[in-house]
Amino acid sequence: MAITAGSLYTPTERIDQPLVVVENGVIAEVASRATREISAGLNVVDLGDVSLAPGFIDTHIHGAAGHDVMEQDRDALASVAQLLAQHGVTSYLPTTITAPVEKTLTALERLADAIEADESKPGNYGLRAQPVGIHLEGPFLSHARRGVHPPACLLPPTLATFEKFWQAARGHIKVITIAPELEGACEVIAEATQRGVCVSLGHSDADLKATQAGVAAGARRATHTFNAMRPLEHREPGILGEVLTDDRLSAEIIVDGVHVDPMIVRLFLHAKGDDGAVLVTDGTAATGMPDGKYRLGGLEVEVKDGKCLADGRLAGSVLTMDRAVRNVMKFGNWDLQRTVRLATLNPARTIGMAGTIGKLAPGAAADMVALSATGQVRKTIIRGRIA
């Protein structure tokens, strides 16, 4: 098949009047209709005057559509993935929350099953985003900056515990969040990095020295920057000083207007720029649902007026990735092409998958989102299938 539109963002380049040829769910060719005639026999789908971009990638999400990714219900993940697709997400990392070890191990096994089953296939839930790995958030977190993660379930980082998680996930852990100041953290960071895991520094009270030690051990990302972190001080820059100035670190940010003030979003964008900023939602089961009470792992959270709270603390969000893109355009005064990179190529690079997702180029998965000029989702395309 061939897909045409008004424009296309690869995302680093813009092509007007694009022609995308898809074969067996993979992009075979990306060209402009100004220089390439449409071959006879191609099934042409014209999406009209929209901008095609790579499908969004959410590398930090706990749930949606009333379901949590750690639920035992086998249909839960399918419901989450269907709602994600409606908001332009084509790939995601289901993200765990700190829980008793046995519960975490069971959840990791279940998530590995879903990844290996290829959740992009259409079924009773229609087209849905594909889980491409797991983000392990906890239990190697700081008590001082734990947020709503249950304190009784936090653990010191050890190679033995990490190995248990790795084996349960069957090697599908793509990101692990860890507080670098904890005893044993650097050993786990080094081992996880050696196995190809993106180690993300977060839920941390680390000073600058401890943070730099974590980076030296292999950490290359920060988890929901500013949230659950030691604040930036002018005489003790701490973890935020390193995150904002070290070009080796990419950095997540939740741009919902709740977790981070719009002015701080602008500061963050100036600091991390086009290459280092990564949009995440930190979405919970309440995403896409009315106000009420929902589950986040073993916690009960309440949503009211766009805020997701547990015991008065922020507990994830109800943000969707398309809204995050629009908020960056609004808060940072960025154009659409520049912004979509933060939800596509940048997260793909952090998890080592930029060769197959996060860009529109020959050999990449035919995962695309059709957007209006203001960032509204018009169509989502997953492996060449149009939702």
Distance, CA of 252 to CA of 203 (rounded, Å) = 13
Residue 218 lies in a domain: yes
On the question of pLDDT at 167 being above 90, the answer is: yes
Separation of alpha carbons 15 and 6, rounded Å: 9
Contact 369, 86 (CB under 8 A): no
Asked if residue 33 belongs to a domain, the reply is no
Reported residue count of the chain is: 387
- Determine which of 42-56, 124-138, 159-173, 229-243 has the lowest per-residue pLDDT on average: 124-138
- Give the residue numbers spanning the domain of 213: 56-355
Phi, psi angle pair for 345, to nearest 5° = -65, -45
List pLDDT tens digits, range 175-212. Answer: 999 999 999 999 999 999 999 999 999 999 999 999 99
- The predicted model gives 77-93 an average pLDDT of 97
At 119, is the pLDDT very low, low, confident or very high (cuts 50, 70, 90)? very low
| 34-43, 58-67, 123-132, 336-345: segment of lowest average pLDDT | 123-132
Which pLDDT score, from 0 to 100, does residue 124 have?
44
Coil, helix or strand for 220?
A: coil
- pLDDT classification of 387: cutoffs 50, 70, 90: confident
Residue 311 has pLDDT above 90, yes or no: no
Interaxial angle between packed helices 185-194 and 159-168, expressed in degrees from 0 to 180 and rounded to the nearest 10: 40
- Chain segment 227-267, per-residue pLDDT in tens: 999 999 999 999 999 999 999 999 999 999 999 999 999 99
**Three-state helix/strand/coil letters over 349-367:** HHCCCCCCCCCCCCCCECC
Residue 372 within a domain? no
Judge whether 45 lies within some domain: no
Query: What's the pLDDT score for residue 349?
Result: 98
What per-residue confidence (pLDDT) applies to 248? 98
In a domain, 50, yes or no: no
Average pLDDT of the chain to the nearest whole number: 95
- Lowest pLDDT segment from 41-45, 56-60, 247-251: 41-45
Bridge partners, 314 (sequence order): 309
Single-letter amino acid, residue 2? A
Could you tell me if residue 29 is inside a domain? Answer: no
How far apart CA 17 and CA 10 sit, in angstroms, is 13
Q: What is the CATH number of the domain that holds 156?
A: 3.20.20.140
Concatenate the DSSP letters of all residues of 286-327 into one string. Answer: TTTS-SEEEEETTEEEEEETTEEEETTEE-SB---HHHHHHH
* Residue 121 binned pLDDT confidence (cut-offs 50, 70, 90): low
Q: Show the tokens assigned to 68.
A: 């949590």
Q: Is residue 9 part of a domain?
A: no
- What are the distances in angstroms from CA 277 to CA 204, 206, 208, 280, 358? 19, 21, 20, 10, 14
Cα–Cα distance list, 138 to 17, 252, 298 (Å): 46, 16, 13
Token duo for residue 265:
């979003």
Task: Give the pLDDT mean for 356-360.
Answer: 98
pLDDT value, residue 39:
83
| 49 part of the active site | no
Is the pLDDT higher at 74 or at 352?
Answer: 352
With respect to residue 34, please indicate whether it lies within any of the assigned structural domains: no
- Per DSSP, the three-state class of 104 is helix
Give yes or no for a contact between 223 and 60, defined as CB atoms under 8 angstroms apart: yes
Average pLDDT over residues 255-281: 98
Q: Which of 58, 68, 246, 282 is catalytic?
A: 282
Secondary structure letter of residue 246 according to DSSP: -
CB-based contact 102:146 (threshold 8 Å): no
Q: pLDDT value at position 229?
A: 98
What's the pLDDT tens digit per position in 62-79? 999 999 999 988 789 999
pLDDT at 126 over 70: no
Half-sphere exposure at residue 273, Cβ-oriented, CA atoms within 13 angstroms: 6
Q: Interhelix angle for 262-276 vs 238-245, to 10°? A: 50
Could you give the number of structural domains in the chain? 1
Distance, CA of 173 to CA of 224 (rounded, Å): 18
